[in-house]
Structure 1
Amino acid sequence: MSGMTRPVRRIGRRIHSLESLEDRRLLAVSPIITEFMASNHATLVDSKGNSSDWIEIHNPDSQPVDLNGWHLSDKESDLSKWTFPNVTIPANGYLVVFASGDNVAVAGSELHTNFKLSESGEFLALVAPDGSTISTAFAPEYPPQVTDVSYGLSQDGVTVGYFTAPTPGSVNGAEPVSDQSRQVVISELMYHPSSEIDAEEFIELRNNGAAAVDVTGWQFNKGVDFVFPAASIPAVGYLVVAADLAAFSAKYPGV
């Protein structure tokens, strides 16, 4: 996985010089993206029963905020790609929008963007009605995502990372986990044993970092249908995933 990407709050090209009270207030207490999931398999389902990706918007203000005319976009070249209808987030409240590609922007209905999120990483932003003022942006792109693990901001808005216990529509819980996954690599792979015994297949992982990495809930992207149970890899240590533990132990008794 690539390095961490901190969401930024910035002013767009067309209004960077405006000084009105309204514009300053917009930047000071504007709604923000606090959490999203780009690889949702079993965390949250929409009204159609689909496990669509989702984006959580938080209103940090002590007053309700009207999102009518605001935008969500996954393209920096098209900041007004999807537009909110007349919907309000209460004071200190949350709103979940499904990133399903179904394009539902009807007040009072479940909201769906006209784009989906890429689990391999892409640009994501919440943009003011002018189509230029960016309230929150994961730019140039957020890092690759993990199935049923969300990504976002800590409660204080300082730390960005992964949440292994997602909380769509409510305050984020524990501190997000940093991008330790880039420290873990596949160091050895046995996919065609000379014995022709499939049970002797294995994958060896190495943690190149200076601290242990919790791999609970991790999965391989393709080819291997396996979810890691509660486990961790020690610093500069190894972990072996075997097709059959008994066959592996018999073949490699010293491991």
Structure 2
Amino acid sequence: LNGQEIGRKLMPAGTVNWQTPGQRGEAKYGSIIQGDITGLLKSGRNVLAVEIHNERSGSSDIVFGADVSISTIPPDLTQLLTVSELHFDDEGTVDWVELHVPGQQEVSLSGFSLATLEDFSDAIDLDGSISAGGYKSFETDFKVEDNGNLDIYLISGQIVIDAHRFDRDLGEESFQSVPAFKDAPNFRKEWYGGTGHTRDAVNDPVRNTNIVINEIMYDAPSDGRTAEFIELFNRGSAVVDLSGWRFVDGIGFEFPAGTTLGPGDYIVVAA
């Protein structure tokens, strides 16, 4: 298939050339290969080639017939479509939500919905389609809880395709997602809240990458619990306001208002 061998029958193992004899077999149908060959297919024209070897040279007794049966594997919907961005209006209501197609095929939105409630009673049906690699936003009127919490569900029928909980406690204008790392699966993404938005375009959230975790003491030699700490370092050239920054996994700590870290400086969070 497309120049790569995918199976053989009544042929010896190893390298085969035009002089390699075949093995005697009955003239009846039999499966040559059964399996997933998705990775060998390509967009557009695919070529399936068959090479037939007789048992011996000089023989004219050869029979070949072929049937090709192709079945598709149901797609993993979580890899087709993902929530990419959401935006808040001046009243704090989610006025639009953006979806993204990370794959290489257009996705029809028929049967997809957006909701914020667990019973999907506020679901908004989607229509149209999104091109491969594209972004598309949809008008919404989703309310945020008084404590700033908001759940977003992307659903197909009653199946949750993507979901995320947001905590809007700093008056963020939008939340935008980016992959957690290169070639990360769709569910491994990081969300950034802040000012501005990139509606219907590639996400580019305002975020600071100059503050890094520089050192961790998680198991002090003395086994003293109060000796554990995490150290941050500002590798940039400007002062960074850490107000509201917090650790949310492993430890729980939020930097109080007015906390800043100058260029080249360190700050320690101790147990």
Taking structure 1 as the reference length, the TM-score comes to 0.46
More strand by percentage: 2
* Structure number with bigger Rg: 2
Highest relative contact order (Cα 8 Å, sep 6+), 1 or 2? 1
